[in-house]
Amino acid sequence: MMTDFFSKELKFRQLPILIPIFITIYFLYAEIILTFFIRYVPHLCPLSNSPLTDFTGISCIIWFCCAYIEEVFFRAPLFIFTFNARHFHCGLKAFIILSILLSIAFGSAHAIGQYSTLIFHICIQGVYGFGLCMIWLKAGGLNGKFWKPIFTTTLFHGFTNITLITICAHHFPRII
């Protein structure tokens, strides 16, 4: 049943509708997790000053470039696995397991230098990374495509970054 869902690829004309929906769902989830961390374990919640909260046209380009680099780095293992899975007849369950592992790595990579906040980053960024893995698979990654899924997840990732920076720059000008 899940394989049927992923076999039907996303169309580019669906992106203007899906990107805001994805961002809204993610931010609702993040709000719940942030509230939990701030209320019950504030020492694990990393709130620090960052020069990257400056909202300019250049910062938007930088955030999209960062999103692209992260997408290539964290989705390439799924792409490689796609070709090997055909030879070893792996099912969707193997893709989900790999997606979970990549998502944990994605969340952990955002905690570099802040190992005391590792759980926080896995909860926030890891779950987001899993969503991006699912979008990558849905955009044609499961069918062996690379550039269309990378372009799609980079759009999702880039617009989420810009939305996050816009919210932080407006509400928390000195905190990200």
At 33-56, the pLDDT tens digits run 777 877 787 776 665 444 444 556
pLDDT band at 68 (very low <50, low <70, confident <90, very high): very high
Domain span at 66: 57-176
Residue 158 belongs to a domain = yes
In the predicted structure, residue 60 carries a pLDDT above the cut 90: no
In this structure, is residue 84 part of a structural domain? yes
Residue 3, pLDDT > 80, answer no
Q: Tens digits of per-residue pLDDT, 103-126?
A: 999 988 887 777 777 888 888 888
Q: How far apart are CA 95 and CA 81, in angstroms?
A: 8
pLDDT value of position 55: 55
Q: Is residue 41 part of a domain?
A: no
Counted domains in the chain? 1
Evaluate whether residue 10 is within a structural domain: no
Q: Check residues 91 and 87 and name the one with the higher pLDDT.
A: 91
Rounded to whole angstroms, how far apart are CA atoms 131 and 175?
Answer: 25
- Measured distance CA(112)–CA(108) in Å, rounded: 7
Q: Is residue 34 part of a domain?
A: no
Assigned domain for 1 exists: no
Does residue 175 carry a pLDDT above 60? Answer: no
Residue type at 110 in one-letter notation: H
Q: Against a cut of 0.85, is the pTM above it?
A: no
Q: One-letter amino acid identity for 88?
A: F
More confident residue, 87 or 23: 23
For residue 58, CA distances in Å to 9, 150, 151, 153, 162 come to: 32, 22, 20, 21, 11
38 occurs within a structural domain: no
> What DSSP string describes the chain?
-HHHHHHSPPPGGGHHHHHHHHHHHHHHHHHHHHHHHHHH-GGGS-----GGG---HHHHHHHHHHHHHHHHHHHHHHHHHHHHHHHHT--HHHHHHHHHHHHHHHHHHTTTT-GGGHHHHIIIIIHHHHHHHHHHHHTTGGGT--HHHHHHHHHHHHHHHHHHHHHHHHH-TT--
Would you say residue 18 lies in a domain? no
Tell me what the mean pLDDT of segment 88-112 comes to. Answer: 85
Q: Give the mean model confidence (pLDDT) for residues 120-139.
A: 89
Cβ proximity of 78 and 95 under 8 Å = yes
